[in-house]
Amino acid sequence: MADRKASLSFDQQTLEFPVLNATLGPDVIDIKSLGNAGVFAFDPGFYSTASCTSKITFIDGDKGVLLYRGYPIDQLAYHSDYMEVCYLLLNGELPDAQEKNAFIKEINQAHELPPKMLHLFKGFDQDAHPMSILIALVGALSAFDSKNPKDPAGRYQMAIELIAKIPTIAAMCYRHTQGLAFIPPRADLSYAENFLHMMFAEEADSPAPDPILARAMDRIFTLHADHEQNASTSTVRMAGSTGANPIACIAAGIAALWGPAHGGANEAALNMLHQIGSEDKVESYLERAKDPKDPFLLMGFGHRVYKNYDPRAKIMRETCHEVLDLVGAKEDPIFKLALHLEKIALEDSYFVEKKLYPNVDFYSGITQSALGIPSTMFTVIFALARTVGWASNWIEMISDPQQRLSRPRQLYTGEKERAVKPIAERA
């Protein structure tokens, strides 16, 4: 902490607050004592409010920077894999070969679900949205958890269990909605290979998925592993501040992720492409997107955080084209439409000036669709990838001695106190 102070003057009084130094990014004015003066700060959406201290992820939206524990996302995507990223987020450092192998072994030993959980799938209709099933199943997983969240070892093991089991649940959600028998996890496959195998394999001993497709899925996981204090991560921390079961807190995060303004963005982007329908309609829809009175939105372009190019988009774009080439889908009408839309948006002065570049959701939606994954599963896969980020934030939050029960304030604008009239006297 620095010795700097910030002053706030109002109603003929001046308050001073300490300024906390950030390693990167804006410093923070510590206003937690502001309520003692009888006033609160007003910040809808908490866009100018830091709710916690964290050492996990840093974003500079203006410069297009995303760091996991100090490492740039592009270096991690090109030189590491998702298991290394999981280890990094949980432990603070990248693993050496021995540590990585031990970590993978722990994950592989925890893939299986409690047998009784398999019966829960019978309660869901086949046309239920996979996200609704995922929320319910992860919440149910807390009923089978006996680890002590007050024990650091128990916290870490909880994270391992979630990272291992949520892919199993996610794949089962898909197969249930397709009316297919479940495929058990295999310890001889990589994390991404195992997930694709559980989703698409015809038999338990079917050959491993194509390495390029597995690498594409691994990159999707890596790029979505964490993203600072977004809506779902903040939800996990807020739920965790009550002392709730940590797995239930993750279920709360999954529920927050479902919205189209958050994790549902890549599903919304693909739905938009289907709405446009054909290349000859692109220009007219772009004109609609420019009209502030038109309800049509160009999904998958621009980002609430990144005012420059989304650093994950370049990586996902390369991966997207690799997959389209491999599966021979570049001539598919919907993918031709997507690439045509991408080209025009990157060259159109309106979108360039407003920096509405294609974001990671645009390319990940196209990539997953080319892999044969239905759009209803996109947010499920996002949740799978983000599990390690949520778990890392929950562990950091619960380990912080300064952590308090989350209790946001409000600006009340309702009626003043008034008396209740007998019902016969009410107009």
User: Are 384 and 316 found together in one domain?
Assistant: yes
Tokens of 394: 């929950």
pLDDT at residue number 1: 46
What is the CATH classification number for the domain harbouring 283?
Answer: 1.10.580.10
pLDDT above 70 coverage of the chain, percent: 100
Domain that holds residue 117: 74-401
In a domain, 178, yes or no: yes
Amino acid at 253: G
What is the CATH classification number for the domain harbouring 20?
Answer: 2.20.28.60
Using CA atoms, how far residue 114 sits from 10, 157, 254, 381, in Å, is 59, 16, 20, 21
What is the full DSSP assignment across 351-390? HHHTT--B-HHHHHHHHHHHTT--GGGHHHHHHHHHHHHH
> Which residue, among 135, 127, 193, 169, has the nearest Cα to 371 in the 3D structure?
193
Active site residue 81: no
In a domain, 377, yes or no: yes
Instruction: Say which residue the tokens 């994954």 belong to.
Output: 373
In a domain, 121, yes or no: yes
Mean pLDDT on 167-194:
96
User: Are 300 and 155 found together in one domain?
Assistant: yes
User: Are 36 and 170 found together in one domain?
Assistant: no
User: Are 277 and 197 found together in one domain?
Assistant: yes
pLDDT at residue number 341: 87
Amino acid at 42: F
Q: How far is CA 288 from the centre of its chain?
A: 29
Contacts of 177 (CB under 8 A, 6+ apart): 126, 127, 128, 130, 133, 376
Mean pLDDT on 201-218:
95
CA atoms within 13 A on the CB side of 138: 33
Confidence of residue 297 (pLDDT cuts 50, 70, 90): confident
In terms of DSSP bridges, do strands 65-68 and 71-72 run parallel, antiparallel, or are they unpaired? antiparallel
Active-site residue, from 218, 227, 303, 310: 303
User: Are 194 and 268 found together in one domain?
Assistant: yes
User: Are 123 and 205 found together in one domain?
Assistant: yes
Using left for φ > 0, alpha for ψ between -120 and 50, and beta otherwise, residue 95 falls in beta
Active site residue 303: yes
- 155: pLDDT strictly greater than 60: yes
User: Are 150 and 109 found together in one domain?
Assistant: yes
Total domains in the chain come to 2
In a domain, 418, yes or no: no
Contacts of 171 (CB under 8 A, 6+ apart): 182, 183, 195, 198, 199
Using left for φ > 0, alpha for ψ between -120 and 50, and beta otherwise, residue 64 falls in left
Say what the alpha-carbon torsion angle 212, 214, 216, 217 is, to the nearest 10 degrees. Answer: 170
User: Are 78 and 46 found together in one domain?
Assistant: no
Alpha carbons 194 and 192: distance in angstroms, whole number: 5
In a domain, 250, yes or no: yes
- 178: pLDDT strictly greater than 60: yes
Q: Judge contact between 138 and 166, C-beta under 8 A.
A: yes
User: Are 11 and 158 found together in one domain?
Assistant: no
User: Are 80 and 45 found together in one domain?
Assistant: no
In a domain, 426, yes or no: no
Alpha carbons 253 and 154: distance in angstroms, whole number: 20
Mean pLDDT on 239-248:
94
pLDDT in tens, 333-379: 888 888 888 888 788 888 888 888 888 888 898 999 999 999 999 99
In a domain, 13, yes or no: yes
CB atoms under 10 Å from CB of 393, counted, come to: 26
In a domain, 409, yes or no: no
CB atoms under 10 Å from CB of 304, counted, come to: 14
User: Are 317 and 200 found together in one domain?
Assistant: yes
User: Are 107 and 171 found together in one domain?
Assistant: yes
Could you tell me the pTM of the whole model?
Answer: 0.93
